[in-house]
Structure 1
Amino acid sequence: MTRPAFASTPRSRPNVVLGMLLVVYIFNFVDRQILAILAGPIQADLELSDTEMGLLGGIAFALLYSTLAVPLAWLADRTSRSWVITISLVCWSGFTAICGMAQNFWQIFLARLGVGIGEAGGIAPSYALISEYFPSEKRARALSIYSLGIPLGSALGVLAGGYIAATVDWRVAFFVVGLAGVLIAPLFKFLVRDRKSAPSPADLTATDPVATDPAPERVPFSKIVGLLARKKSFWFLAFGAASSSMLGYGIGFWLPSLLQRSFGLSLVETSQFFGGVLLTGGVIGVLAGGWLGDWMGTRDKAAYALVPAIAFLLAIPLFAGGIMSGSVTLAFVLFLIPQALAYVWLGPVLSAIQHLVTPESRATASALFLLINNLLGLGGGIYLLGALSDQLAPIYGDEALRYSMLYALALYGLAALLMALAARPLRKDWVADA
């Protein structure tokens, strides 16, 4: 299967492509985050412990999501990125709906594995498509706009899931969001094309200014792995992001449970509190990170690593204040600011990863980065906080989850250190666009 030739049409212009990729990414995080807000009703209905919920939110999803992302990205680099994303969207949305049929732990565990299989083919090819459509000096901002799918999708999943579960049933919430994802897939494929062959001069317009290269030589997978393995910046960025993701995914999954257990909020109140934090803080942080990355990165490529490092350090005391606060209002403010800081890394780091390889290898490089980030961050973080909460229960009782989150803030300190160590080698490892 070969890539279709590019033709400049409204459906293949950069802003249209970016908009549709954002919509799909929103669905990605709606399907992922909905489990967090529904954790309480699911635990009560299926009689699950915090450790079992941690497995559902972490390893059940991350195991195949992380590992299959690499071969699917390699396939996307060699065939059609837009087709891989479309099929993946249908797959993960279908399995999300199946989650609503589960009657016990193992049934919902297997359904979450299916969601992970589908989502494995969505993100890395999307990064590569954005890099095809947007030039280097605008890429961090474009990737930040795409990354708005994280706070927007998370907030939508929390708000919609909480409302549906409170007014109807938690199973219906899975059915609704799963079906919506399946229905959007044909529109996505119609509007989004791969862009690999050069358009004619007559096709280029002021709104579509980025010329494309002829179809590139296919780079062997082993060569891409060997290239990245020799670059120190890749390892520091990947493990720094993974450390931050362990805490980010852990807090994102368990904060709704903390709000209900320690702050006494109802399911709907929890969805409003958490949805507001995710939406406001997330949007500000993602956009600020992309702008700062491109602005400072034009002067010094090390800024793509240093900006996230500073953000992680600033977030630690603010998250601690929110976790330990006894006031719902104060907690909202204290969570809002570090939630923004927690998202700053996305635009700069994702842009930097795109520049560690040549264009034809970008989806594969992104998948290798995501393999480390998600296997450790998503797979380990949610489980770690849940298991730690169970271990601390004899000491802290109902407040065990609060202290589990507090102790885990050390992960942001580790993330800041690793990002700072990436700064110097990133200057040398950077691959400029041809």
Structure 2
Amino acid sequence: MNSFVRPTWRTHYALGVLAAIYVFNYIDRLLMAILIEPVKAEFGISDTGIGLLSGVTFAVFYTVFGFPLGRLSDRIGRKPVIALSCIAWSLMTIFCGLAASFTMLVVARIGVAIGEAGGTAPSMAMVSDLYPPERRSTALSVLMLGSSLGAIFGLGLGGWIAQHYGWRTAFVVIGAPGIFLGLLLMLTVRAPKPTMLVNPRQAVQTHWAKTIRELFQTPSYLWLVLTGGSAAIAGYAIGTWSPSFLIRSHGLSLQDAGLLAGVAGGAGATLGTLTCGILCDRLARRDKGWQIGVPLIGTLISIPFGLAYFLWPVGTAFSIGNTPVPTAFLFYSVFSFFGTWWATPCLGAISHLFPATRLAQATAIFVMAMTLLGVGVGPLLIGMLSDGFAHRLGSEGLRYALASCVSLLVVASVFLAMALPRYRNHLNHIAPSPAPLANAVSA
């Protein structure tokens, strides 16, 4: 029988620190998106080269280190892995701003990728350790605000700093706070002690290949991983290239593009993330299938708004101060609200499928699929399509490259539809194994 202590202020404080770390995880990851144009100008590289830098290079190293670090956190605890990883990726973000050549910038981004590989899955597993199943999607939605808040600060603040002080300063200023947050987690948060740590020798004896095989034998897990991979291709491609789209197709400045894509788009994503998490927890009490049904509905709604954003003609709806707001951007506000609905519920579903002994590893595989396909393929695919379309369409090639990637959300919806009956049947007819939490805590 699973037992959870009632969440206290320490529980919520731990969630708050983890959420702050996750914000900077995404700030450091997304910062390159708003700095594409000045980095291209300084080093003289193509859109494909930028896609390789911000996509494949990052994704490969993130993926290679993601599962081992998730496995390590299942063995020794989440807190030390998260804290040290946060300090590491923050230092490497600072080094990005000190890069004297494109090669040095690539090496620094590899360091960021390795560091962030140890932050995401263990953080999600730690939140699942902290909260009982009926409150888990809401808690995970708070953590997942990191992606949307990261867009607000990474794109908005990053664009402002780059506009006034240069792109190198943006890396240095935004990278520094993560060092403090890593130390704050290590020194002030009482981490939950999952029951699997009572007998760590038993957990260590399972070979990693056998663990992976058994994970994918769980009904619905494969479809959830495929959902994460396909939806992430579209999500990361749009997140990476949207500022450049606003600059090239709608004539915005670097600062204005960062403010709109970051602040306005991020605000919609923030509300969407919280909404889907709360909806999942409430509706899943009636029918466990809503854990998958909610993201399926949200993803389907987002598709037409995404297409309208990229294909709507040039025109200004209104201005906020001196910042013109393109009419097309109104559709992006709705797209950003519903386009985030797949991530948090899928992670919540995974937390209900697996025990604590395998939760970080199962989460790591999901996040690795998101990263390898989303970060790795998404930006590169759009860069290659943009370069290909540019021969006939010039700067408008990026518009149609981005519109084409929205179709991948249709694929993600199909995978969610495949996962839904398998997930419901598994939880209704086979005893679920959500991650338990012992009453003990460690400093």
Same fold (TM over 0.5): yes
Q: Label 1:398 to 1:329 Cα distance change in 2 as closer, same or farther (>3 A).
A: closer
Any residues of structure 2 matched to 1:401-420 within 5 Å, and which?
A: 401-420=398-417
Q: 1:313 aligns with which of 300, 322, 336?
A: 300
Q: 1:376 aligns with which of 346, 352, 373?
A: 373
Paired residue for 2:25? 28
* Cα pair 1:100 1:174 within 8 Å, conserved: yes
Amino acid at match of 1:304: Q
Of 80-89 and 187-196, deviating more is 187-196
Between the two proteins, the alignment pairs up a number of residues equal to: 414
Q: 1:17 aligns with which of 14, 17, 21?
A: 14
Find runs of 4+ consecutive structure 1 residues off by over 6 angstroms. Answer: 6-10
Paired residue for 1:337? 334
Paired residue for 1:200? none
Paired residue for 2:318? none
Of 341-350 and 222-231, deviating more is 222-231
Per-residue deviation, 1:8: 11
* Cα pair 1:281 1:339 within 8 Å, conserved: yes
Deviations 1:30-60 (A, max 9, x none): 1011110111111111111100111111111
Please give the alpha-carbon distance, in whole angstroms, between the structure 1 residues aligned to 2:426 and 2:16.
Answer: 31
* Cα pair 1:28 1:153 within 8 Å, conserved: yes
Per-residue deviation, 1:214: 7.3
* Cα pair 2:26 2:146 within 8 Å, conserved: yes
* Cα pair 2:265 2:332 within 8 Å, conserved: no
Any residues of structure 2 matched to 1:80-229 within 5 Å, and which?
A: 80-196=77-193, 215-216=198-199, 218-219=202-203, 220=206, 221-229=208-216
Per-residue deviation, 1:106: 2.0
Q: What is the TM-score of this pair, normalised by structure 2? A: 0.89
Q: 1:303 aligns with which of 268, 290, 298?
A: 290
* Cα pair 1:216 1:360 within 8 Å, conserved: no
Per-residue deviation, 1:276: 2.4
Q: Label 1:223 to 1:358 Cα distance change in 2 as closer, same or farther (>3 A).
A: farther
Deviations 1:148-186 (A, max 9, x none): 011011210111111111111110111111222112221
Deviations 1:356-381 (A, max 9, x none): 21122111111111122211111111
RMSD: 2.0
Amino acid at match of 2:273: V
Q: Label 1:426 to 1:147 Cα distance change in 2 as closer, same or farther (>3 A).
A: same
Please give the alpha-carbon distance, in whole angstroms, between the structure 1 residues aligned to 2:269 and 2:33.
Answer: 17
Q: Label 1:7 to 1:245 Cα distance change in 2 as closer, same or farther (>3 A).
A: closer
Per-residue deviation, 1:323: 0.9
Please give the alpha-carbon distance, in whole angstroms, between the structure 2 residues aligned to 1:22 and 1:232.
Answer: 30
Per-residue deviation, 1:193: 2.8
Paired residue for 1:255? 242
Gaps of 5+ in 1: 1-5, 198-211
Per-residue deviation, 1:389: 0.6
Deviations 1:10-29 (A, max 9, x none): 8x821011000001001101
Please give the alpha-carbon distance, in whole angstroms, between the structure 2 residues aligned to 1:341 and 1:89.
Answer: 29
Please give the alpha-carbon distance, in whole angstroms, between the structure 1 residues aligned to 2:402 and 2:45.
Answer: 20
Paired residue for 1:52? 49
Per-residue deviation, 1:7: 12
Paired residue for 2:280? 293
Percent identity between matched residues is 37
Deviations 1:315-372 (A, max 9, x none): 1111111112212432221000011111112221101011221122111111111122
